Structure 1
C-alpha cells in the first residue's frame, strides 16, 4: 500500500502474499516445508539474512497474511498466530515468566483460562494473586517485588465487567510488569488494548474473528520486540496455526467490522428487552446505559460487545430456558453469526470449584448468550417463549 489506509480497508486488502498467478483471493499455502535454491540460500534463510520461508511451524505466507491483517486492526507492530486461543494465552505467560515470578490476575475470567492459570501456571513455581476485575486498589495491593505480569479479559466473560486499561497499564509499568489483555469478547474492531497502554493483546480467533464457527486459532499482538520473543517460544513449542485455518480466518477478518457493528446492535436490543422481563433478576451487558462502568465503556470500547449474561431464579429455571430455546444454538462457543446459549455454572466454568465460581459471581441461575446476526426481534421472541 502506497498510502495510509483505514484498518477496515487493510482488513480486506492488507497483507496479501501475491504469487505470479495473480490470484484475487489470498492463496492457501498448504505445505509443511519450503525449498531453497541452493545451500547458500538455505544458510541465508536460516540465519535470517534474507526474507523467506523454510518450515510452516516457523512461518507460512498464508499465516503471515493473517498476522499482518490482525496487526493492522490492533494497531500493532507485529502479531503472532497460534493454534488456539488457549495456546496464545500460554505463550503470553510462558514467554515472559519463570519460576519465582509473580502474576496479578483478575479472578473474573473464562473458566478454562482460570483453570490454566490456577492449575498449570502455578505448577511451574509462578505465584498468582487473584483480584477484583474493577477494584484498582486490589490490583495495587497485590503487587510484589517479583510481579512481572498483569492479566485480565475485559469485558469479562460472561458478566461484562470492564477494567480501566489505562490505569492498569500505568500501574503495571510502574513496577516493570507487562499488561496482557484478552480481547476475545470485543475483537480488534471493538477495542484496541494496545492503544490504551497494554503491552500484549491476546485473543481467541476462534470467536469473533472467524465468526462462523469453522476453525480454531489464537493470535497475540504487540511490539516487534515482544512478539519476536513470542514467535521464538511458539516455534519451539509447536504452537503454530494451521495454514488452512489461517486461510479461513482471513475471510473472517474481511467481514469483521460489519459483523460486529450489527451484532453489537442486536445484543443491546436483546439486553434491553431482558431488563423488562419479570423472571429475569439481573442483566449483565457492557453496552447498557445502566452499566456501572458506562463512562469507562464509552472511553475504551466501540460498543458493548456480543455477550450477555442474565440471571433467573435458579439452575432448574436456567436449564428450562436453555432447553426451550429454539433459535439459539446450545453450545459454548461465542462470536458466531449464529446466536448461542449456555449455562456457565455447568459448562464454561464447570471445572471451577463452587467457591471459586461464586467468588467470580458465577451463580447457578446465570445464562450466557452470544448474540449473532439473526433478526433481533426473532431472538427476543425465542427468549420470550423460553422464559414463559
Structure 2
C-alpha cells in the first residue's frame, strides 16, 4: 500500500483503501474497540445491554442470535471480541465472573483420570484450588519449576498428561516460562497448553502466537486496570471439542460476566496499551533503581539483564516486561512487614494491574506452603510518577531499618 508524504488532510494521489480491523495495531484495536458504531444511535461508545431475555421471532426462532442472558449478552460479546482480537484468538474469547472461574473451567473441562502439570510458582488461589479440588475431580496434578522446560518434559506421563498450565511471569517470584518450547514438549505428548498471562497482558505477550492453545487472564487486573471489576477471560487458538466444552461450562454453570461489569471492562480495555506501556516502564525504572538500594537484598523482575529468565522474556515479551516486580528486604521478614506498614503513596492491598500502585507482604497472604520468601514484598506498579513511588518506598525502607529508641 502506497503512502503519501503530503501533510495531513491533503494528498497528491488517490486515497488508499482503508485498513481493516484485522490489520490494525493493538493500540488501534483497543482504542477503537474494533471501530464499531452503534447502528441505532451512531454512538461511538457501545451501549450497555441489560436485558435478561430476548423476543422470539413469530416462528419461534432467535434470528438476533440472543436467547437468554445466562449464556450470552451483547455487551459481554463486545468486550470478548476486543480481547480475542488483541490475543489473535481464532476461537474467540469467553468472559467469566472472575479469574478463578475462568481458570477452574479449564480444569473442569478435562476428563476424569487426566494428568495436569502446573507451575510451582503461580497464583496462590489457583494452586490451593488444584490441591483441594482437583483430586475430587479425579485429576492428578504435578507441580514443577515451569522455568525449566526439561522439568516439564520429565513430568509428562505418556497417554495421561492432557494439560500443561503455564503462568508467566509467575506470581509473585517473577519466574519466566518459555511458552514456545513448553508448547512443543506438551503437544508432542498430546497435551494442551494453557497460559495464565495476567502479569503480561496481550500488549506484552501473545501466548497463542507462541504455540499455546488457551490463554487466561484475571481481567480484574490490567485488562480492566481500575480496580472496580472482578472478571476473568479465556481466549482460544481454535474451535474444537475442548473449546465447545468450555462454552458449555460457562453457559450451563452460570459463570458469565454481567453486562455492567463487561461495560466497565470495555472502558478499561480502550486504554490498555497506554497503561501497559506506562506501568511496564515504571516497573523497570523501579527495578533498576532498587537493585542498587542498600536495604534491598534482591529485585525480582524479568526486565533486569541478570534475571535468569531475561533472555526468554526478551524473546517472547514485546514493549516491556510487565507491571509486577518483587523485592527482598534486607533485614528479613520483620523489616519487610515494617516497610509495607510505613508506605504512604503505595497502597497495602491485594491485586495487580490497577492505575494505583500496590504493595503486599505475600507470605502473610499465602500462608503455609507458599514458595514465597518471608522477606519478599510484591509490588504492582501503577501510572504514578515512578520517582515519587521510589521516594516513598525509600523512606519506608529507611524507616523500617532505623533502630527504635
Aligned partner of 1:20 among 33, 37, 40:
40
Quote how far apart the aligned CAs of 1:304 are.
1.2
CA contact (8 A) 1:15 1:64 kept: no
Q: Which runs of 5+ in 2 are unaligned?
A: 1-17, 399-405
Question: In the alignment, is residue 131 of structure 1 matched against residue 151 of structure 2?
Answer: no
Matching of residues 46-125 of structure 1 within 5 Å? 50=63, 52-77=65-90, 78-95=92-109, 97-125=110-138
- Aligned residue number for residue 310 of structure 1: 327
CA–CA separation in structure 2 for the residues paired with 1:74 and 1:136 = 24
The C-alpha deviation readout for 1:196-252, integer Å capped at 9, x for no partner, is 100000010000011010111111001232433311111111110010010000011
Of residues 227-236 and 209-218 in structure 1, the stretch that sits farther from structure 2 once superposed is 227-236
Alignment pair present for 1:290 and 2:306: yes
What secondary structure sits across from 1:345 in the alignment? helix
- Counterpart of 2:118 in 1: which secondary structure? strand
CA–CA separation in structure 2 for the residues paired with 1:124 and 1:58: 24
Is contact 1:215–1:245 with CA below 8 Å preserved after alignment? yes
Which of these residues, 272, 280, 286, is aligned with residue 264 of structure 1?
280
- Give the CA deviation at 1:35: 1.6
Q: For residue 378 of structure 1, what is the aligned residue in structure 2?
A: 388
Deviations 1:108-134 (A, max 9, x none): 111101111111112211100111121
Contact persistence 1:88–1:218 (CA under 8 A): yes
Is the CA contact (8 Å cut-off) linking 1:33 and 1:54 kept in structure 2?
Answer: yes
User: What's the CA shift for 1:24?
Assistant: 2.1
Match of 2:239 among 224, 227, 234: 224
Is 1:166 the counterpart of 2:166? The answer is: no
For residue 307 of structure 1, report the CA deviation from its aligned partner: 0.6
CA–CA distance in 2 between the matches of 1:324 and 1:122? 42
Runs of 4 or more off by more than 4 Å in structure 1? none
Equivalent residue of 2:391, what SS? helix
Could you tell me whether the CA contact under 8 Å between 2:37 and 2:44 is conserved in 1? Answer: no
Deviation string for 1:362-384 (max 9, x for gaps)?
Answer: 11111000000000110000011
Q: Larger Cα Rg: Structure 1 or Structure 2?
A: 2
Tell me how far 1:187 sits from its aligned partner.
0.8
Q: For residues 153-208 of structure 1, what are the alpha-carbon distances to aligned partners after superposition, in whole Å with 9 as ceiling and x for unaligned?
A: 10001111101111110111111110000010011111100001000000100000
CA distance in 2, matches of 1:173, 1:17: 41
Helix, strand or coil: the match of 1:281?
Answer: strand
Report the TM-score, using the length of structure 1 for normalisation: 0.93
Corresponding residue for 1:328?
Answer: 346
Give the Cα–Cα distance (whole angstroms) in 1 for the partners of residues 43 and 112 of structure 2: 49
Match of 1:200 in 2: 214
The answer to whether the aligner puts 1:6 opposite 2:25 as a matched pair is: yes
**How much has 1:51 moved relative to structure 2?**
5.0
Q: Is the 8 A contact 1:17 1:61 kept in 2?
A: no
* 8 Å contact kept, 1:109–1:157: yes
